[in-house]
Structure 1
Amino acid sequence: MSQQTFSLPYQHPFTPEKKYKKSVAYFSMEFAVDQALKIYSGGLGFLAGSHMRSVYALKQNLIGIGMLWKHGYYDQGRKKDGSMQPEFREKMYSFLTDTNIRFQIPVMGKDVWVAAYYLAPDVFQSAPLFLLTTDTDGNDEATRAISYSLYDSDVSYKVAQCMILGIGGARLLEELGYEPQVYHLNEAHAVSAIFHLFKKYKKVAEVKKRVVFTTHTPEEAGNEKHEIHFLENLGFFSGLDLETVRKISGTKDNIFNHSLAALSLSRKANGVSKLHGEVSRQMWKAYPKIAAIDHITNAQNKTYWVDKQLEQARVEKDLAKIAARKKELKAVLFKTVADQCGKIFNPEVLTIVWARRFAAYKRPDMLAWDLERFGKLMSNVNQPVQVIWAGKPYPKDEGAINTFNHLFYLSHLFPNVAVLTGYELALSKLLKDGSDVWLNTPVVTREASGTSGMTAAMNASLNLSTFDGWICEFAKDGDNSFLLPVAQGENINKQDCDALMEKLETTVIPTYYSDQAKWQKMVLNSMNDVNVAFNSDRMAREYYEKLY
């Protein structure tokens, strides 16, 4: 770690634009600001990273508060037979500054030391970031391990991680002598900060005045809940008595719902797409005393993600130049395919990519559910297709890991199918650049927003998707993307799978090979339509206008 001097009280390093001068502390469990800083797992991190880059570009008065994960999420390696192996390795970052701030908070019945490191804005052109760790002198091995791995599988450790982010983040601001006007909780991980603030300000109104909340979870079951005495024993409520906790957090019984507490103690909240806003309002309507839930649709940072030559060609409306550059980018991606899989892909061939976090509701393997039709698709020599899968399952999610491995073993049967490991920012960028079709298959209403298709569209890839999340605000079937009809009634999996194969066989593949003029026009439409509305500068502005 670099030992640059760090002075207190902390001053925001750049002079904010007048309309963004309100001071904000943005709490997030993960940030993906650069490939080199491995403190993220997937979409939540990609989103927060893009947001922090737009804060920098727009000169907003916002600082990020996150965690310094010693092992990151995990490194995705391979076993002897090539199937997936989660690996946990220590990460070192010489570009972080040790603030020399150390303080203790009670966690799991021990006084745990927390250390804070600083990512200066000029390192990766992001908002200033403060990253907390318990891997510091004075802690035993058990408490050091709290900040080893993002989303620890042990429930006590996972809650302890949330406490370091929440209570630790609130305490850090006090140590910095920095009192933000707004505490923004990106998802409910840092909700323990609210009880620390209540202890400090003594009134719900004073807490609400300062707190806003973004929910990313479109279903009730996905919102984290724990037994209230279990949380109390860990120190989650900063010593408040349970009667007070229940009263201020909307908890009626002994089950504490983290999102409900965040909604009960915020002045404003938001979902992350128009559809998700509606779903969230519906989901929480039984609780009349919670914050009003608006929506601010997720977006990605164009400056970071877009290929400069593709963007130049888009501005010039030069379809031939877009197509030529796309083939160059495909060739770059295919070097990684050859390196990892020993397969030579052809830039002239239609290339379909499915890449994101592996989770059951995202249905990563839908393309191969009907093996007979998939086999026909992959063996068509007149209109050939190449398919690439990539993504990280949660390291303890056996179902998702099995799906990943099933696809890997299946890929042995086809020279034009590849399954890649190491899906992080760098590989994600290669895949967006090198895909013709970005495949997105979540169960409808299960994906709050989903953002991978945005950066694919920025880089001249067409979305082929179920009608969910951000896609509902972007996609026009046959004009800028390919849409599957919304499945109704029984067996939606079969309906969606049949619709996907039908769309590929009758529309997507024939258009690519028999009507390049239409394909290129759709690509340009897609690039233009994603350009402003789904660039995170718009999102970062809306957070100031609508939420802060």
Structure 2
Amino acid sequence: MEKYDKWYHPYNIDEKYSKRVAYFSMEFGIHQALKTYSGGLGFLAGSHMHSAYDLKQNMIGIGMLWKYGYYDQDRNEDQTMHPVFRKKFYTFLEDSGITVKVLVNNHPVTVKALVLKPEIFGTAPMYFLTTDIPENDYLGRTITRMLYDPEPATRVAQSIILGIGGAKVVEALGGADIYHMNEGHALPLAFKLLSDYEDVNEVKKRLVFTTHTPEKAGNEEHDIHMLDRMSFFNNTTLEEARTITGMHGHMFNYTLAALRMSKVANGVSQLHGEVARQMWYDNEGVCEIQAITNAQNVPFWMDETMKQALANNDDAALVNRKKEMKKQLFDLVADQTGKLFKPDVLTVVWARRFAAYKRPDLILRDVERFLELINRHDMPVQVIWAGKPYPFDHGAISVFNRLVKLADRKPNIAVLTGYEIELSRKLKQGADVWLNTPRRPREASGTSGMTAAMNGAINFSVLDGWLPEFARHGENSFVLPIVDLSLPDEVQDETDYQNLMHILEHEIIPTYYHDKEKWLRIKKQSMQDVLPQFGADRMASEYYELLYSYEFEKVGAEFV
């Protein structure tokens, strides 16, 4: 292989996947050692890169190299959460030999691309962009300091580096047939392509877009004049940008602009596809929004022994391996908290990014009832929470700390820190029940339950995201009845809480302790049903079939 100045794959491309695709994402969860992700979006993008490698697809990944990662989740003296920012260094990333110049705030910034070779972690070739190099001044070097910087101007600069800098790196590699924006963070890419092709229809032929969230905070918007001053629109004037995107107001919405500059887009579950169409189709000029349900890479996430036991219909091996995996998780619980959990006790895990709509403390609306439930001598329960709040989301951190205080000196409640890939893996492997409590329909997909099911954890969930495509109550999971969305949030929360406790008290706990045969049957059905439909090979194939090969019909600019 000559220096990394050509589009390179260490395998023969499968003909079905021959289109050259550059996949842009602000975060990638590839391996525990590479701190370039915060949560589900990164885990999803990482699984996509793993499956692109497994399927021999003609794809590369374009991401950011964060000097401090997202953050390290440490503890204060009283065990509450303390965000720490530590510099990261990776010997396995190599200099690609590619540097490009990007204008940020009309100031030239040099961007270096480091390559993650496919054979390191089993991914498509990936290029990680950094501005933390001697050629840049102090401000330039801080752009790639941390994922999701709280400073709005820095966030905009990060999008410019990913979108325009990433496009220039792809250009140096020989170009791509399709540019895939995983969320709207890389939107300046669209304006770089516009500068290159001078026709929005030529941009649309090449650009596809995945929207991941119905949450307002997840659909980024900024003052359009600030974006213009910061060179967000590349060589496109403000008036041209307004005409092309239809943004004639004060604020500029990344998602809406992406939907107007792409040939096709997708939501990340069938339900989210419906929600996204309801959200955006009233806006003139948006592209078709399809649905491609998220999935997770099976070789990366599924325990091989469990997989073989399931394939061989070896119930004893399945049960024994689950006990072993619970013991491995409980060793970690003991190390972090000093508590010795018991492998024969029902273990419920709530673990994901901490955010208000995910309701991590829903089960605690009546603390006395909760404590009475988990402390029954004949049918005890162990509960584990884990997850990273956004380090500047003080409400989410407050909930996390409340859980820490609740767990103090209680032998069967644990709150773990460091929710990254390896802890996520151990929690999914060690859980008996994977609890998921978002306020429906605000969880676009929620992939953690997929990897939990792969490892013999039974989903107990609100029927949101991917679950309507999978869950059958009492057969492969336990599901809360759907609440009336017209009710106030407080009423929805109370209804979900009462249903949650009723199912725990009358179905889940008694089945685990008194009907082992049924429990094993549900567990096995869950493992069988999650594969192959929710394996990332299916997802990666559908992107080629439904998005990258989508036939674009030329339209004119509509927002003069």
Give the TM interval when normalised to the shorter protein. over 0.9
Structure 1 match to 2:492: 492
TM-score, L = length of structure 2: 0.96
- Alignment partners' CA distance in 2, 1:26 and 1:370: 45
2:6 & 2:274 partners in 1: Cα distance? 42
* 2: CA distance, partners of 1:240 / 1:280: 28
Report the Cα distance in structure 1 between the residues aligned to 2:425 and 2:100, rounded to whole angstroms.
Answer: 38
SS of 1:344 mapped into structure 2:
coil
* Aligned counterpart, 2:103: 106
2:19 to 19, 22, 40: 22
Matches within 5 A, 1:131-170: 131-170=128-167
In the aligned structure 2, how far is the partner of 1:221 from the partner of 1:104?
30
C-alpha change, 1:249 and 1:439, in structure 2 (3 Å) is same
In the alignment, the residues of structure 1 paired with residue 516 and residue 6 of structure 2 have an alpha-carbon distance, to the nearest angstrom, of: 60
Q: Is the 8 A contact 2:5 2:98 kept in 1?
A: no
Contact 2:379 2:509 in 1 (8 A): yes
- 1:516 — aligned with what? 516
Q: Which residue of 1 aligns with 2:413?
A: 417
Residue 369 of structure 1 is aligned with which of 365, 368, 376? 365
Matched residue type, 2:386: A
Tell me the equivalent position of 1:42.
39
- The answer (yes or no) to whether the contact 1:250–1:260 under 8 Å persists in 2 is no
- 1:446 paired residue number: 442
- Distance apart, 1:479 and its partner CA: 0.3
Partner of 1:437: 433
Shift of 1:302: 0.6
**Worse-matched range after superposition: 249-258 or 157-166:** 249-258
* 2:81 corresponding residue in structure 1: 84
Residue 63 of structure 1 aligns to which amino acid in structure 2?
Answer: I
Which range moves more in the overlay, 434-443 or 409-418? 409-418
Q: Give, in whole Å, the separation in 2 of the partners of 1:100 and 1:140.
A: 21
Matched residue type, 1:49: G
Residue-by-residue CA offset, 1:258-317 (whole Å, 9 max, x unaligned): 011111010010000000000011111212411100000000001011111111111122
| Range 490-499 or range 395-404, more displaced | 490-499
Measure how far apart 1:318 and its partner are. Answer: 2.2
Q: Note the 1:37-436 alignment, pairs <5 A.
A: 37-176=34-173, 178-220=174-216, 222-436=218-432
Q: Per-residue CA shift, 1:81-115, capped at 9, x if unaligned?
A: 11111111111111111113222211123211111
Q: Deviations over 1:134-171 (max 9, x none)?
A: 00112122211110100000010011111110011011
Contact 1:319 / 1:521 at 8 angstroms: preserved in 2?
A: no
Partners of 1:217 and 1:430 in 2: how far apart?
A: 27
**Alignment partners' CA distance in 1, 2:71 and 2:161:** 20
Hey, what's the Cα distance between the residues in 2 that align with 1:528 and 1:149? 39
SS of residue paired to 1:80: coil
Deviations 1:489-522 (A, max 9, x none): 2411111111111110111000000111000000
Does structure 2 retain, via aligned residues, the 8 Å contact 1:183–1:211? Answer: yes
> How far does residue 175 in structure 1 lie from its aligned partner after superposition?
2.4
**Counterpart pick for 1:458 among 454, 461, 482:** 454
Greater Cα offset, 503-512 or 211-220 = 211-220
Retained in 2: the 8 A contact 1:317–1:524? Answer: no
- Aligned-residue offset at 1:219: 4.0
Q: What's the offset of the Cα at 1:411?
A: 0.2
Distance 1:323 1:244 in 2: 63
Q: Note if contact 1:219-1:283 (Cα within 8 Å) is conserved in structure 2.
A: no
Aligned residue type for 1:401: I
Paired AA for residue 526 in structure 1: S
What are the superposed Cα offsets for residues 150-203 of structure 1, whole Å, 9 maximum, x if unpaired?
A: 000001001111111001101111223x21000000000001010111011000
CA distance in 2 between partners of 1:102 and 1:545 (Å): 33
Q: Secondary structure at the match of 2:143?
A: helix
Give the whole-Å Cα distance in 2 for the aligned partners of 1:290 and 1:473: 26
- Cα distance in structure 2, aligned partners of 1:221 and 1:134: 26
Amino acid at match of 2:169: L
Give the aligned residue type for 1:168. G
Q: What is the DSSP-based 3-state SS (H/G/I as helix, E as strand, rest coil) of the residue aligned with 1:59?
A: coil
User: Counterparts of 2:406 and 2:521 in 1: how far apart (Å)?
Assistant: 34
1:537 corresponds in structure 2 to 537
Assess if the C-alpha contact under 8 Å between 1:370 and 1:497 holds in 2: no
Contact 1:337 1:344 in 2 (8 A): yes
RMSD, matched Cα: 1.1
In the alignment, the residues of structure 2 paired with residue 251 and residue 200 of structure 1 have an alpha-carbon distance, to the nearest angstrom, of 22
Return the alpha-carbon distance in structure 1 between the equivalents of residues 226 and 143 of structure 2. Answer: 17
> Is the 2:298–2:536 contact (alpha carbons within 8 Å) kept by the matching residues of 1?
yes
Cα distance in structure 1, aligned partners of 2:105 and 2:365: 45
1:26-47 deviation digits (Å, cap 9, x = unpaired): 0000111110111000000000
User: Would you say the 8 A contact 2:260–2:287 is kept in 1?
Assistant: yes
312-321 or 178-187, which deviates more? 312-321
| Percentage identity across paired residues of the two chains | 55
Q: Which runs of 5+ in 2 are unaligned?
A: 549-560
Aligned residues between the structures: 544
Moved over 3 A (4+): 9-13, 219-222
How many Å separate the matches in 2 of 1:332 and 1:284? 45
* Higher mean C-alpha displacement, 366-375 vs 470-479: 366-375
User: 8 Å contact 1:220–1:283 — kept in the other structure?
Assistant: no
The whole-number CA distance in structure 1 between the counterparts of 2:352 and 2:370 is 21
Q: TM-score, normalised by structure 1?
A: 0.98
Measured in 1, the distance between the counterparts of 2:540 and 2:256 equals 25
Cα deviation code 1:343-392 (max 9, x no counterpart) = 00000000000000000000011112211110101211110100000000
1:32–1:49 CA contact under 8 A, matched in 2: yes
1:534 and 1:273 mapped to 2: Cα distance?
Answer: 11
Q: Distance in 2 between matches of 1:131 and 1:249?
A: 29
Confirm or deny: 8 A CA contact 1:378 1:414 kept in the other structure.
no
